[in-house]
Amino acid sequence: MHVDRLPHMTYIEKMADSALKLYYFDGRGRAEVARLILAAAGKEYEDLRFSEEEWPKYKPLTPYGQVPALQVDDVVYAQSNAIFSFLAREFGFLGGSSLEIFKIDEIVNLVNDFVNASADALFHTDDPAAKEAALKKVKEVVGPRTLGFLEVILEKNGTGYLVGDKLSLADIVLLDATTGGMASNLLDVNDDYPLVKKTIELVKSNEKIGKYLATRKDSPW
Ligand SMILES: N[C@@H](CCC(=O)N[C@@H](CS)C(=O)NCC(=O)O)C(=O)O
């Protein structure tokens, strides 16, 4: 596999040869960012998807009884953000300097706060009135606040990308949160966020990501 712009080639070449297997339910959810990174990297992997009924068979294979989980050769690792930063680092989407990595992690955590608030409202709030209030807060407060911060970051950075001058995990996380991840229906990327809109289009215009998006399965979450 051809990998450019990577400083630590020996490790990368080893990684490029590793067999990767991603475990998740048959939806986008918390696994889709990993799939997007792997698509952008052009890395072959096994996308193992299972139903709710099949889940008890896989649960004991994961370190913490939850997915996403990523098997690298014969070891299974977990925690979505750890998986994303591992893959982003291996395939050159985690910035060049420690400060760039810091900024990317910051944005990943910022978007993750929104994703977690959305997941709590959508899946973990049973009382109908509480659910309605939680969804309203996500739509009217958490979402616009997150997009507002991202707009400012893009304005300051001035390259079209959230960090540095090339595609990074931060941009991929933004794409996922706004286009088809579990929380995207709660996020209104309207004309108040022109730079965010442009960045989403820029990420979609990446040849490998664009190809993946054109063929990926529909998913309600
Ligand atoms: N902090 C974990 C949370 C993972 C999580 O909540 N996974 C859910 C699916 S999105 C799960 O495995 N649910 C099944 C279960 O807990 O049995 C991460 O980010 O990976």
Q: Which contacts of 204-213 are long-range, i.e. CB under 8 A and separated by 24 or more positions?
A: 204/175, 204/179, 206/40, 206/167, 208/39, 208/40, 208/41, 208/42, 209/36, 209/39, 209/40, 209/172, 209/175, 211/39, 212/35, 212/36, 212/39, 212/40, 213/179
| pLDDT tens digits along 39-53 | 999 999 999 999 999
**pLDDT score for 123:** 86
**Whether the CB of 66 sits within 6 Å of ligand 1:** yes
CA of 87 to the centre of ligand 1 (A): 19
Question: In which residue ranges of the chain is pLDDT below 50?
Answer: 1-13
**Whether the CB of 95 sits within 6 Å of ligand 1:** no
Sign of torsion, CA 126 187 184 70?
Answer: negative
CA of 158 to the centre of ligand 1 (A): 36
- Atom of ligand 1 at shortest distance to CA of 68? 20
| Candidate of 52, 66, 221 to mutate for ligand 1, largest count of ligand atoms within 8 Å of Cβ | 66
**Whether the CB of 116 sits within 6 Å of ligand 1:** no
**pLDDT score for 217:** 83
**pLDDT score for 209:** 97
Residue 64, helix vs strand vs coil: coil
| Candidate of 30, 86, 109, 118 to mutate for ligand 1, largest count of ligand atoms within 8 Å of Cβ | 30
Closest CA to 177 of 33, 23, 27: 33
**pLDDT score for 13:** 47
Packing angle of the helix pair 169-178, 194-204 (nearest 10 deg): 100
- Statement: the pTM of the whole predicted model exceeds 0.80: yes
Task: Please give the ipTM for the structure prediction.
Answer: 0.98
Nearest protein Cα to ligand 1, atom 16? 66
Nearest protein Cα to ligand 1, atom 15? 66
**pLDDT score for 183:** 75
- Atom of ligand 1 at shortest distance to CA of 62? 12
Identity of the residue numbered 4: D
- Atom of ligand 1 at shortest distance to CA of 83? 20
Nearest protein Cα to ligand 1, atom 12? 66
- Atom of ligand 1 at shortest distance to CA of 59? 17
**pLDDT score for 16:** 59
| pLDDT tens digits along 80-116 | 999 999 999 999 999 889 999 999 999 999 999 999 9
CA of 78 to the centre of ligand 1 (A): 9
